[in-house]
A and B are shown apart, each in its own frame.
Chain A
């Protein structure tokens, strides 16, 4: 039933985000050719998909951050934490269910809009390769894992309804800006998840192979942030 609670708690945010992302991504695929300015001879629609993925990555970070705002600390602020903590469940399980629900939603928020983009593109003759779409998804979810971890950590530290997302977005922006210099750009999770580090500007395609090592590093870092969040919640006085 904790899954049921986690779903009821996040479903409005999740469904609104999902619908918004699907609609916007589909619109961008259909009309992106009017806005994308390309300076090289490339397969035009590959570039459109790259452009759409940038928009998707931004919306994904926004949606995942908002979806992970909640949990015991927020419940303490709203007063319902006493009820939750009186249930015969330990805090680790409460946290685990919330994070797993968030992960499933985060994956859905990446896959479903990409499927929509792919389908809309195919229907209207703007085809794209499945392997390239999979590449984009690995980058989005690998780099995005770090931002997911940041959102969980912030929600385990700050209870404010508005403060927590503001701090979380602040952390995302600081990370993106601090690692945007030429020397540090290869380490930027933002550059990683948007695929800009792997784009071949001649073809508009991502350059193989998939950077599994970097993906694993971002996931490990996210795991570390989640482990810290678990400890914080376990020690928190409610």
Chain B
């Protein structure tokens, strides 16, 4: 690991022809924590994950994962022995049975834990003799998760791991992720489910149009972000409230809503200057921050 970071990228970029999927991405992921990687569809999350695994070559920049350079194919192979990965589409080999799929996968990893495999098989109720092609999407997801969780990797990279799971399955997944993190595994996962992310993530990274637009701990976000709802007898111009720390200002009639990443007290003071009738400062949910970060200009 470089500087104690599990994942470290520097100006990482990936282009497909004229389309820049990922632009100058600087990621720095701490060990032994759960990092959520958020973004809209097509934001570049899966492309970034594939670059981190050495599955596709970066067009620019470079990075290290567990100290191995992602642009080096030899180091990429070594790296993949230390990482467990569940892909976005959860597609596996249709011509194998569940049992064959598990036997095939465990042969590649020395950190495979048969006891954990058995436990997860019981927990996920996977039919060993069933062909993968006849499994439902949820079952396929569970099989993919089993093959990742039956190991003891240093890093778990999961691309939308809860996709296809029912609420019970999601609950089981979140519990496993928390347990793995407390065992010392670093978890890096992408998701669209903000409520799940808020429950388990320590660190939040938001990617928008290939760029990293937010990288902060969830605790810091909760402490610093505030929504300030104001009511004025006569609404002042928005630009008076676009001060340091303010991310967004919206007005409707006599009401103004200000989203501040810091300096909420400055906004309150400004509101008092304009004789606000009502000032309400409230904590902000991750969903609001996400929507603010990914809104199109």
Q: Could you tell me which A residues sit within 8 Å of B by CB distance?
A: 1, 4-5, 8-9, 12, 78-80, 82-83, 85-90, 237-238
Contact = CB atoms under 8 A, between A and B. Distances in A.
A80 B92 contact: yes
B152 to A, nearest CB: 15
9 contacts: A1-B108, A4-B103, A5-B104, A8-B96, A12-B95, A82-B91, A85-B55, A88-B77, A88-B109
A86 B91 contact: no
B55 A88 contact: no
Nearest to B47: A237
Interface residues of B, number: 32
Nearest to B54: A85
Interface stretch (B35-43, B80-88, B263-271, B280-288): B80-88
A86 B93 contact: no
Given A88-B78, A88-B80, A83 B91 contact: yes
B109 to A, nearest CB: 8
A82 B85 CA distance: 9
Contact of B89 (A12, A82, A86): A82
A78 B96 CA distance: 14
Contacts of B91: 78-80, 82-83
A82 B55 contact: yes
Contacts of B26: none
Interface of B: 16, 50, 53, 55-57, 73-74, 76-78, 80-81, 83, 85, 87-89, 91-96, 100, 103-105, 107-109, 144
B93 A9 contact: yes
Contact of A86 (B87, B95, B100): B87
Contact of B80 (A8, A12, A80, A87): A87
B82 to A, nearest CB: 9
A82 B108 CA distance: 16
A31 B268 CA distance: 99
Contacts, number: 66
A238 B95 contact: no
A88 B106 CA distance: 12
A53 to B, nearest CB: 32
A73 to B, nearest CB: 14
Q: Which 8 A-B pairs have the closest CB atoms?
A: A79-B91, A82-B87, A1-B107, A88-B80, A88-B81, A85-B55, A86-B85, A79-B89
Contacts of A83: 87, 91-93, 144
Nearest to B104: A1
Given A8-B93, A8-B95, A80-B92, A238 B87 contact: no
Nearest to B84: A86
Contact of A238 (B56, B80, B93, B104): B56
Contacts of A1: 103-104, 107-108
Contacts of B89: 79, 82
Contact of A237 (B16, B83, B93, B109): B16
Contact of A82 (B50, B100, B104): B50
Given A9-B95, A82-B89, A83-B87, 16 more contacts: A1-B103, A1-B108, A4-B103, A5-B93, A8-B95, A8-B96, A8-B100, A78-B91, A80-B94, A83-B144, A86-B55, A86-B80, A86-B83, A86-B85, A88-B77, A88-B109
Contacts of B107: 1
Nearest to B81: A88
Contacts of B87: 82-83, 86
Contacts of A12: 95
Contacts of B93: 5, 8-9, 80, 83
B108 A78 contact: no
A86 B156 CA distance: 12
A5 B92 CA distance: 12
Contacts of B108: 1, 87-89
Given A82-B50, A237-B16, A90 B95 contact: no
Nearest to B147: A83
